[in-house]
Amino acid sequence: MTQRDEEGDVAVDNTTRVQKPRLFKVIFHNDDFTTMEFVVRVLEGIFNCSPARAAQVMLEVHKTGHGVAGVFSREVAETKVFLTRDCARREGHPLMVTMEPE
């Protein structure tokens, strides 16, 4: 909202607040058919994980049933989920990947 002071100048309200975008976790879910090697390859290729980080996430998925591949803005998370699902389907894997707010 703007206001005029006594001299007729316009005063600008500088209290605009910018919120950080909401972040989303991309989650891999375990299944009995998708190979560990494929999961590692996707984590390295699509999620830019180091080999050590990819192996760590893959083992978490294998042992606990799910694991967080990364945390991203909504658009980036949606893109990574789409690319992962597409890659899995093309190679015949039933890998389930979801995203949820952090």
pTM for the model = 0.81
Report the share of the chain in percent with pLDDT over 90.
79
**In a 10 Å sphere around its CB, with 0-12 CB exposed, 13-18 middle and 19+ buried, how is residue 75 labelled?**
exposed
- pLDDT tens for each residue of 24-68: 999 999 999 999 999 999 999 999 999 999 999 999 999 999 999
The class that CATH gives domain 32-101 is alpha beta
What is residue 74's three-state secondary structure? helix
